[in-house]
Amino acid sequence: MKILSCTQQKQADAYTIAQENILSINLMEKAASLLTDEICRRWDKSHRIIIFAGSGNNGGDAVAVARMLFLKNYTVEVYLFNITGVLSDDCMKNVQRLQECGFPNYHEISNSFDPPQLTKDDIVIDGLFGSGLNKPLSGGFASVVKYINASQATVVSIDLPSGLMGEDNSNNIRQNIIRADLTLSIQLPKLSFLFAENEDIVGEWKVLDIGISKNFIEEASTPYFITEANEIRQLIKPRSRFAHKGNFGHGLLIAGSYGMAGASILAARACLRSGIGLLTVHTPVRNHDIVQTSVPEAMVQNDVHELYFAEPVDLDNFQALAIGPGIGQEEETALATFDQLKECFIPLVLDADALNVFSTHRNYLNRIPKRTILTPHIGELERIIGRCNNSFERLTKAKELSAYLQCYIVLKGAHTVVITPEGNCYFNQTGNPGMATGGSGDVLTGIILALLSQGYSQENACRIAVYVHGLAGDIARNRVGEISLTAGDIIEALPEAWKNITETK
Ligand SMILES: NC(=O)C1=CN([C@@H]2O[C@H](COP(=O)(O)OP(=O)(O)OC[C@H]3O[C@@H](n4cnc5c(N)ncnc54)[C@H](OP(=O)(O)O)[C@@H]3O)[C@@H](O)[C@H]2O)[C@@H](O)CC1
Ligand SMILES: Nc1ncnc2c1ncn2[C@@H]1O[C@H](COP(=O)(O)OP(=O)(O)O)[C@@H](O)[C@H]1O
Ligand SMILES: [K+]
């Protein structure tokens, strides 16, 4: 699914009206009817509905919702803020329609506002500003936002919480943005919904398909996408009836150090559960027996060093390489990693400490081969690019790094994003907070290694792995709950996740 900018959403709106023979007022009617259905599905008539509308089309949507709820016998009050004395055409038409049906509780505010008492049982519909917001809210509107936020009422925002920008909120004022419990987004989600710091502003969000032109959306150019199950399904290559293990690649995993054998075991197990033909784990001497015993399907290759990775490996017999889980931060390990990069001409994943080494050796960044996959969480990324003030800034800088290195960056988090060197960003929706536990990332590295070894492109390997990793996390959550979930549970759920995504639906 594409994520378009607010400007593009406006263009999409205009295109639909012009090309698909639909009047703008009817598009608003469609939006309002879906919004009303969603509200009625969640709240019955015992709740008072207080609607705050602005002078634009977001306000128009809200006023239309007021009429529809009133006609369904809900108790509704409308406060329309008409400060400049100018309403958008469709907002004005909806005010007329509201009055025509004998709506009793309509208040138009042109200067002073006498706010109603809001209680915890009230439902506030926020239709002050939507995609037309062009600067942070201030003055009277900021006061209205603060009053709504201070109330105990449940808040439902139309399209996006008033005051929130669809993309970049770096210069916004957080106190002047509505904090919604539910955001009902028109047609497509907004980029800012995917950022952690906006969680308590956006609340739960849901997209309502009002029938905006599919042609326009298909043709629109955007770097931002949300990965969906059917896209991943189409990327999976079927196995030939005559396949043998040689068809699925031989991967090398350089992982583990004394005290962190677990990371290598988790990555290796996840890799073997993700379809690799053969796996060799390169690990320090002291970890040999534990890896051999814990992952009997893998071959184990000893490093020269007793305790950590200290010497690069000959890669002639391997189709892909992953370095990093649990390798530690010894200087010798850092140097071995840099030497390994010089010798590496096969698809490569750098994770965990194989990324941390660059924070203290930035001049070695240029050694990372083009099309390498880097899998940092926020902390690991910021050790390389420096501290960022917000998610939009971090995403922008990660895109710059990806373009500079010509590498793929898998920036891990609640909505892990795969960033390609061309600048495309694929956000993931599977996964849950139960996965915020040591070793989850090692599992992801193992899955990516398995896919690279099987010949998937870097982009597809990242997108499939991130999706399936999250899906396995969701299956594991159903089995053991978020609190008990461990990285091992994600691995145990991988078979079901792979089955789910490969079964024809
Ligand atoms: N696109 C779609 O698919 C569909 C969209 N629909 C709906 O339309 C909504 C977009 O409507 P919209 O374009 O009229 O903009 P909206 O958010 O109501 O506000 C514009 C007004 O706010 C003002 N203003 C801006 N910033 C301000 C500030 N900081 N402080 C004070 N004022 C400020 C601005 O004034 P200006 O600065 O331009 O003079 C202008 O008057 C969209 O979110 C969705 O709900 C659906 O009905 C149908 C399909
Ligand atoms: N709240 C969450 N929702 C979805 N996925 C999550 C969440 N928290 C963590 N994850 C996933 O779990 C993994 C954690 O990786 P990482 O932080 O590298 O862990 P470790 O270093 O312990 O292996 C990432 O893939 C991340 O996307
Ligand atoms: K709104």
Amino acid at residue number 128: L
Query: What confidence tier does 505 reach under pLDDT thresholds 50, 70, 90?
Result: low
d(CA 137, CA 54): 12
Average pLDDT over residues 455-477: 98
pLDDT reported for residue 189: 96
Residue with tokens 């193992």: 446
287: left (phi over 0), alpha (psi -120 to 50) or beta: alpha
In ligand 1, which atom is closest to the CA atom of 60? 47
Nearest CA to ligand 2 atom 19: 441
Q: Which ligand is nearest to the CA of 131?
A: 1
Residues β-bridged to residue 300 = 281
The DSSP line for 58-69 is HHHHHHHHHHHH
Each residue's pLDDT tens digit, 172-213: 999 999 999 999 999 999 999 999 999 999 999 999 999 999
Q: What is the DSSP string of 131-158?
A: TT--S---HHHHHHHHHHHHS-SEEEEE
pLDDT score at 343: 82
Any idea which ligand is nearest the CA of 270?
2
Structure tokens at 254: 């350089």
For 290-332, the DSSP string reads: HHHHH-TTSEEEE-SSSSS--S----TT-SEEEE-TT----HH
Residue type (1 letter), 441? G
pLDDT of 331: 95
The response to whether residue 58 sits with its C-beta less than 6 Å from ligand 1 reads: yes
Determine if residue 262 is labeled as part of a ligand binding site.
no
CA of 60 to the centre of ligand 1 (A): 9
88 lines ligand 1 (CB under 6 A): yes
Region 23-28 average pLDDT:
96
**Closest ligand 1 atom to Cα of 187:** 3
What does the pLDDT read at residue 151?
A: 98
Centre of ligand 3 from the C-alpha of residue 167, in Å = 15
pLDDT above 80 (res 17) = yes
The answer, yes or no, to whether any atom of ligand 1 lies below 6 A from the CB of 61, is yes
Euclidean distance between CA atoms 479 and 438, whole angstroms: 19
Mean pLDDT of 430-454: 98
Residues 293-309 have pLDDT tens digits of: 999 999 999 999 999 99
- Mean pLDDT of the residues in the chain: 97
- Cα(101) to centroid of ligand 1, in Å? 25
Is 47 known as a binding-site position?
Answer: no
Residues with Cβ within 6 A of ligand 2?
352, 377, 412-414, 416, 431-433, 435-436, 438-442, 444, 469-470
Contacts of 104 (CB under 8 A, 6+ apart): none
pLDDT tens for 375-416 read 999 999 999 999 999 999 999 999 999 999 999 999 999 999
- Architecture field, domain 6-222: 3-Layer(aba) Sandwich (3.40)
* Secondary-structure class of domain 229-502 per CATH: alpha beta
Give this complex's ipTM.
Answer: 0.94
Instruction: Identify which of 504, 501, 450, 437 has the alpha carbon closest to the alpha carbon of residue 472.
Output: 501
Lowest mean pLDDT among 117-131, 235-249, 321-335: 235-249
Measured in Å, residue 97 CA sits from the centre of ligand 3 at 21
**Under 8 Å between Cβ of 218 and 195:** no
CA angle 210, 106, 35 (to 5 degrees): 20
Statement: residue 424 has pLDDT above 80: yes
The 10s digit of each residue's pLDDT in 325-342 is 999 999 999 999 999 999
Q: 262 has which bridge partners?
A: none
pLDDT band at 490 (very low <50, low <70, confident <90, very high): very high
Residues 228-236: what's their mean pLDDT? Answer: 96
pTM over the 0.90 mark: yes
pLDDT at 458 (0 to 100): 98
According to CATH, where is 3.40.50.10260 located in the chain?
6-222
Per-residue confidence (pLDDT) for residue 108, from 0 to 100: 96
Q: Which two tokens stand for residue 229?
A: 């199950």
Q: Is 413 annotated as a binding residue?
A: yes
Rg of the chain (C-alpha set)? 27
CB of 186 shorter than 6 A to ligand 1 = yes
In 85-237, alpha helices (H)? 89-100, 139-150, 199-202, 214-219, 229-235
Pocket test residue of 26, 27, 133 for ligand 1, highest count of atoms within 8 A of CB? 133
pLDDT digits 0-9 by tens, 91-123: 999 999 999 999 999 999 998 899 999 999 999
Residue span(s) of the chain under CATH 3.40.1190.20 come to: 229-502
